[in-house]
Chains A and B, each alone.
Chain A
Amino acid sequence: MTEPQMINLALAILFLPLLGFIVTLLLGKKVKSIYIFEVFIIVLAFAGAVLMVFTKLSYYPNSDITSEFSWINLGNVPLLGNTSIDLGILVDNISVLMIFVVTLISMLVHIFSIAYMEGDKRFNRYFAYLGIFTFSMTGIVFTHNMLMMYIFWELVGLSSYLLIGFWFEKKSASDAGKKAFIVNRIGDLGMLSGILLLYTTYHTFTFSQIFSQIAAGHLPFNSELWLTITGILLFCGAIGKSAQFPLHVWLPDAMEGPTPVSALIHAATMVAAGVYLIVRIFPLLTSDALLFIAVIGMLSAFIPATIALTQNDIKKVLAYSTISQLGYMVMGLGIGAYKFAFFHLITHAFFKALLFLGSGSVIHAMHHEQDITKMGGLRKKMPITYATFLIASLAISGIPLTSGFLSKDGILQSSFAFGSLTGHWIFAFVGFLVALLTAFYMFRLLILTFHGTPRDQHKYEHAHESSFSMAMPLVVLAVLSIFIWYTPNPFNPEQGSILSSWIKNPQLVTPQDTRFNFMKSDVPNTITTNKASEASGIMYSEVYNNAIEEAHIPALTLSLILASLGIFIAFVFYQWKKVDVDKMVNSIKPLYNLSYNKWYFDEIYDATIVALTLLLSKFLAWFDLTVIDGIVNGTAAITLEVSKWSGKFDNVVVDGFVNAMAYISGFIGLIFRRFQTGKVQTYIVLVIFSLVILLFIFK
């Protein structure tokens, strides 16, 4: 396949879901089975993605295929030079891997939804929304510039809003949709400012052009501080979209949407868009920006993990675990573990989608019961769901032989190395602590749901294993959560080609003295756009590689011990009931309440930001009513006085003249109105006479 063909394929993958969306939306009410078309379109897009990932990785593993066109050409603007806004497609290893994940999960969710959403009154519209979501996510993945990224970013926000609030008759669902939309806007504001900062400095939105200009030493406002600020502003978008620490509050509420949607959007793809954004802009992040990102990631990994310990809603637990895992990825990027973070993004997408779809299967079987305290013993009723759920839980806890172990261990190992190189041990500490917590709450969830005796006998009686179209995606995702797809050695992910040759460390473009020490090149002044050096992925000095090498065994051992410990505690508490949980809870009541009430984030926001906004609005209303209206009324009074005088002039002089004109016109009209009878035939007679006269004249 040639490069233009690859671009065409990418465009086809991009626009197929849009076609599906339009057709499904327009025909949704008329044709009951139009959803089959949408599913077919997604299967087609997935087939395209498979072809693409295969071709790209086998034949063009080291080159980036781009295609761009000038969208708006402003010509030669004074002071700015030649400005044009280009749109384009970038097909590199990262984007093809991402597109594979997106289309695969989208396809599985489509298939899963056929059974899950059966009987819904807006069935076809649901599929249409899935289509536009897939379209916008594909757009984010393939974009080669900031502007398109932003456009599709907002489109993703829109489709997420539509899908979260899909059951908008429920107040909580429509509120959750609004909350997600508004909270995302806060982050997007930062991102937009960052993009505009970049545009004012570089007059282009294209990643590669921005990077090469930074590499040439051209910084925003000629200051390294502003480069840091730009990076952090762009990261704000990721904070919103990936539900990172201060803005994470929307994600748990977003669980009001249908469960397959949660799997698609709030586990695997949309929230991954934030991480993908950081991956894209990684080369321009300075060490300060990276440190900021790492801190945000660390907080997002830790706080939701503690909240997840006590939640009873099956989807809420998964939601908090998602934030926590995203925090891992963001922290990983912050501490420079670029490859592992992206790797974790892929593996997490699979097993988290599996967890959500599994929970969807449970919820469906339990007739929309989501409270795990009312479940239990489902293992016997739903063996496939149980087995796949178990695999996913092992993966997220980081047990060997699963994909989660590989990626998570990579991040932990990097945090270990980061600690030893920079002295910031806090990241390693929190990382390992969260690993323990994760293992605990995941197995608490698993045990309460599937083990033990049923606590709600009635619902248990009616529970049943899901149909083929729901079980099939579970099995596929469970298979993808096994290590073998990523590396032949279950203890060393670096041996698999995904990390050794597909994902490459990017070439940093930031000035040397704004990097971490270990990120400085060994050879000074190697800032080039040379393809060869980019392809080899030179990013770190030898020191870092050594540190990673040293950290491998201790990190591995420690994470294994902690994960097993977490699982063991979960079993002690909930399976064997050796410790009375209620007593435990009572002894640490304040801590338990803190966790159970989600650290009071919503309450704090209500009391501060929301209240402040309301206060500000009230003040503005008051300002509007007194000051602005006062000015307006004053102006009105003055105008009234002026008008009186002008009115007199009008009445006497102007009107006199006008009336005279009207009188004359009326007099003339009186004569000519006789010709206007309104009868067609009179007109024709007149025409004939006129014609005769004309013929006489021009004979």
Chain B
Amino acid sequence: MNVYDLIFYLFAAITILSAFFVVTTRNIVYSAYYLLFTFFGVAGIYVLLGADFIAMVQLIVYVGGILILLLFGVMLTNKITNVDIKSGTIHTVPATIGVALFAGIILASMWNTNWKNVNSDMQVASTQHLGFLLIHQYALVFELLGILLLIALIGAASMARK
């Protein structure tokens, strides 16, 4: 067990525990804060996988953007007077059973599959490579995604205004 492994377990624990709290906490605002830790954990895992740029993007976009949006959503859709913003759960039992079964099957199939496993050591500057790919091979996709974002922005604004 080296340092790498130790760090992995740390991040994995952060991720899974906080995700668990996200799902189970009744207070939505707390949920959102736990989600923050989940995103942090996932970002850490990205770093461990040699994707430092993606990790950065994860922090900026998820934590800085999406989480804030979700918080706005929480605040806008609950009455101000309703101080403890709580939200119950429904059919917890069948859902848990189903999900557990599902996870079991996925894990089983995962263990039984002979994955291609070449631990390529990608400790190179991933940002540079990603940038290169984005403006060469994936230039069109990149542009299209830009347009998509614009459309989503306009669409969201116009929908929310109605």
Contacts and interface: CB of A to CB of B under 8 A. Distances in A.
A691 B95 contact: no
Contacts of A681: 90-91, 95
B109 A682 contact: no
Nearest to B112: A699
B91 A692 contact: no
Contact of A689 (B90, B98, B109): B98
A678 to B, nearest CB: 13
Nearest to A688: B98
A699 B105 CA distance: 9
B102 A699 contact: no
Contacts of B98: 685, 688-689, 692
A695 interface: yes
Contact of B105 (A682, A685, A695): A695
A696 interface: yes
B102 A685 contact: no
A692 B91 CA distance: 18
A688 B101 CA distance: 9
Interface in B92-115: 94-95, 98-99, 101-102, 105, 109
Contacts of A691: 102
Interface in B45-103: 90-91, 94-95, 98-99, 101-102
Contact of A688 (B90, B102, B109): B102
Contacts of B99: 688
Interface in B148-162: none
Interface string B21-47: 000000000000000000000000000
Nearest to B105: A695
A699 B90 CA distance: 31
Contacts of A689: 94, 98
B95 A685 contact: yes
Contacts of B105: 692, 695-696, 699
Interface residues of B, number: 10
A696 B101 CA distance: 10
Contacts of B91: 681-682, 685
A685 B94 contact: yes
Contacts of A699: 105, 109
Interface of B is mostly: helix
Nearest to B101: A692
Interface in B106-159: 109
Given A685-B95, A699-B109, A692 B90 contact: no
Interface in A659-699: 681-682, 685, 688-689, 691-692, 695-696, 699
Contacts of B102: 688, 691-692, 695
A692 to B, nearest CB: 5
Contacts of A696: 105
Nearest to A693: B101
A681 B88 CA distance: 14
Nearest to A689: B98
Most B C-beta atoms less than 10 A away, residue of A681, A682, A688:
A688
A692 B95 CA distance: 12
B77 to A, nearest CB: 16
Interface in A1-59: none
A695 B110 CA distance: 13
A699 B98 CA distance: 17
A691 B98 CA distance: 9
Contacts of A692: 98, 101-102, 105
A376 B159 CA distance: 71
A662 B90 CA distance: 35
Nearest to A692: B101
Contacts of A695: 102, 105, 109
A43 B102 CA distance: 77
A692 B94 CA distance: 13
A687 B108 CA distance: 20
Interface string A335-352: 000000000000000000
A696 B105 CA distance: 8
A691 B94 CA distance: 14
Contacts of A682: 91
B95 to A, nearest CB: 6
Interface centre among B94, B98, B105 (most CB of A within 10 A): B98
A692 B101 CA distance: 7
Nearest to B97: A689
A600 B101 CA distance: 100
A681 B99 CA distance: 13
Contacts of A688: 95, 98-99, 102
B94 to A, nearest CB: 6
A301 B115 CA distance: 101
A468 B109 CA distance: 92
A696 B106 CA distance: 11
Nearest to A694: B105
A692 B96 CA distance: 13
Nearest to A699: B109
A689 B102 CA distance: 8
A687 to B, nearest CB: 9
A688 B105 CA distance: 12
A443 to B, nearest CB: 72
B161 to A, nearest CB: 25
A691 to B, nearest CB: 7
A566 B99 CA distance: 110
Contacts of A685: 91, 94-95, 98
A696 B91 CA distance: 23
Contacts of B94: 685, 689
Interface in A156-172: none
A691 B99 CA distance: 10
Nearest to B89: A681
A699 B110 CA distance: 12
A247 B38 CA distance: 89
A697 to B, nearest CB: 11
A685 B91 CA distance: 9
A685 B101 CA distance: 12
A323 to B, nearest CB: 61
A689 B90 CA distance: 16
B104 to A, nearest CB: 9
B162 to A, nearest CB: 22
A696 B109 CA distance: 11
Contacts of B95: 681, 685, 688
A685 B90 CA distance: 11
Interface in A170-188: none
A588 B52 CA distance: 112
B24 to A, nearest CB: 16
A343 B39 CA distance: 89
A38 B91 CA distance: 71
Contacts of B101: 692
A556 B135 CA distance: 86
15 contacts: A681-B91, A682-B91, A685-B98, A688-B98, A688-B99, A689-B94, A689-B98, A692-B98, A692-B101, A692-B102, A692-B105, A695-B102, A695-B109, A696-B105, A699-B105
Interface of A: 681-682, 685, 688-689, 691-692, 695-696, 699
Given A689-B94, A689-B98, 10 more contacts: A681-B91, A688-B95, A688-B98, A688-B102, A692-B98, A692-B101, A692-B105, A695-B105, A699-B105, A699-B109
- The 3 A-B pairs of least Cβ separation, nearest first, read A688-B98, A692-B101, A695-B105
